[in-house]
Amino acid sequence: AQSVTQLDSHVSVSEGTPVLLRCNYSSSYSPSLFWYVQHPNKGLQLLLKYTSAATLVKGINGFEAEFKKSETSFHLTKPSAHMSDAAEYFCVVISSGGYQKVTFGTGTKLQVIP
Amino acid sequence: DAMVIQNPRYQVTQFGKPVTLSCSQTLNHNVMYWYQQKSSQAPKLLFHYYDKDFNNEADTPDNFQSRRPNTSFCFLDIRSPGLGDAAMYLCATSRGRGDLSNEQFFGPGTRLTVL
C-alpha cells in the first residue's frame, strides 16, 4: 500500500520567516518523491524531486527538502518566506517499477503575512 | 519551449451534454495522465496512457472516457456531465522510461463548469 500524509492543511508564516511544510509517506517500493506548488487557478509546477540520489534536494525559488528514510519523511523548507510563496503545496509519491502508482497528499495551503 | 497544452482553459457545458477536453504535448513523453481536481482538494487520477495502453483507475466513473490517437494528443470525454463533474481537469505527462521516468509535467488545466 502507498500513502502520503501532509500533516498540516494550512500553514501561516510571516514574510521573511522560515517555512516548514511536512510530508510523511509509506510505500512498499522504492519511491520517488516530489513537491509541487499550485497557485490559484493554475496548473502544478514542480518545486523539487527526490529520486534516490542525494537525500537533501534543492529546488526552485529557494526551497529544499530532505528525504529521511528512517522517518519516512520528505519535509519541505525555505529559510525566508516571500509573499509570492503563498500557494497550495502538494507532496507526491510515485512508485518505481513497471506500474507507476501516483499518490498525492491532501495539500497544504501556505499563507504569508506581510 | 517543450510543454503541455490544454484547450480550452475554460469550458462551460450543460447538464448531460457531452464535452471533450483536449491535451497536447511537445515533450514526446510516453505517458499521459488525466486528473480531476475539485475545489480545495488534491488532484485525483482518473486514468493514464502508457503509449497506447490505457490504464483506468478503479474508481473512475464510466461517464469518463479517454482517447489517445497519437503520442502528442490525449482527449478526455465526459459523456453526460453532471453538476458534480464541475472541476479543474489537469493533464500531465511523464517520460515513462529511463532516468527521471516518472517526473510529471502538468498543463495549466481546463476549468469545467456544468450548468
Cα A93 to Cα A24, A31, A59, A88, distances in angstroms: 10, 6, 17, 17
| Residue B59 scores a pLDDT above 80 | yes
Yes or no, beta carbons of B90 and A44 under 8 Å apart = yes
Residues in A 54-83 with any Cβ partner in B closer than 8 A: none
* Chain A nearest-CA residue for B99: A51
Q: Is residue B9 part of a domain?
A: yes
- The range of the structural domain enclosing residue A87 comes to 3-113
Question: pLDDT per residue over A41-59, tens digit each?
Answer: 788 999 999 877 788 999 9
Q: Is residue B38 part of a domain?
A: yes
Task: Give me the residue label for grid cell 503563498.
Answer: A86
What's the rounded Cα separation, in Å, for the pair B49 and A22? 31
Tally of domains within chain A: 1
Task: For an interface test with A, give the residue of B49, B101, B104, B111 to mutate (most A CBs within 10 A).
Answer: B104
Task: Give the distance from residue A54's alpha carbon to the nearest chain B alpha carbon, in angstroms.
Answer: 14
For A111, other C-beta atoms within 10 Å of its C-beta total: 13
A95-102 own/partner pairs: CB under 8 Å, 24+ apart = A95/A2, A95/A27, A95/A28, A95/A29, A95/A30, A95/A31, A95/A32, A96/A29, A96/A30, A96/A31, A96/A32, A96/B102, A97/A29, A99/B55, A100/B31, A100/B94, A100/B96, A100/B101, A100/B102, A101/A2, A102/B33, A102/B45, A102/B104
Q: What radius of gyration, in Å, describes the C-alpha atoms of chain B?
A: 14
| Pairing mode, strands A87-95 and A31-38 | antiparallel
For B14, other C-beta atoms within 10 Å of its C-beta total: 11
Tally of domains within chain B: 1
CATH number assigned to the domain comprising residue A85? 2.60.40.10
pLDDT band at B111 (very low <50, low <70, confident <90, very high): very high
Q: Is residue B115 part of a domain?
A: no
Residues B85-96 have a mean pLDDT of 93
Can you give the pLDDT at residue A22? 97
Chain B residues lying within 8 Å of A96, measured CB to CB: 102
What's the rounded Cα separation, in Å, for the pair B86 and B68? 23
CATH number assigned to the domain comprising residue B9? 2.60.40.10
For chain A, the residue count is 114
For chain B, the average pLDDT equals 92
Can you give the pLDDT at residue A27? 82
Task: Give the distance from residue A82's alpha carbon to the nearest chain B alpha carbon, in angstroms.
Answer: 22
Q: Which residue among B55, B94, B108 sits closest to A43, beta carbon to beta carbon? A: B108
Task: For an interface test with B, give the residue of A88, A102, A110 to mutate (most B CBs within 10 A).
Answer: A102
| B36: helix, strand or coil | strand
- The range of the structural domain enclosing residue B18 comes to 4-103
Can you give the pLDDT at residue B48? 92
Can you give the pLDDT at residue A97? 59
Residue B33 touches partner A, C-beta closer than 8 Å: yes
Chain A residues lying within 8 Å of B94, measured CB to CB: 100
Residue B58 touches partner A, C-beta closer than 8 Å: no
Can you give the pLDDT at residue B63? 95
Q: Which of B57, B89, B37, B65 is nearest to A100 (CA)?
A: B57
Can you give the pLDDT at residue A52? 73
Low-confidence ranges of chain A (pLDDT < 70): 96-100
Q: Is residue B33 part of a domain?
A: yes
- Of the two residues B97 and A20, the one the predictor is more confident about is A20
Residue A31 touches partner B, C-beta closer than 8 Å: no
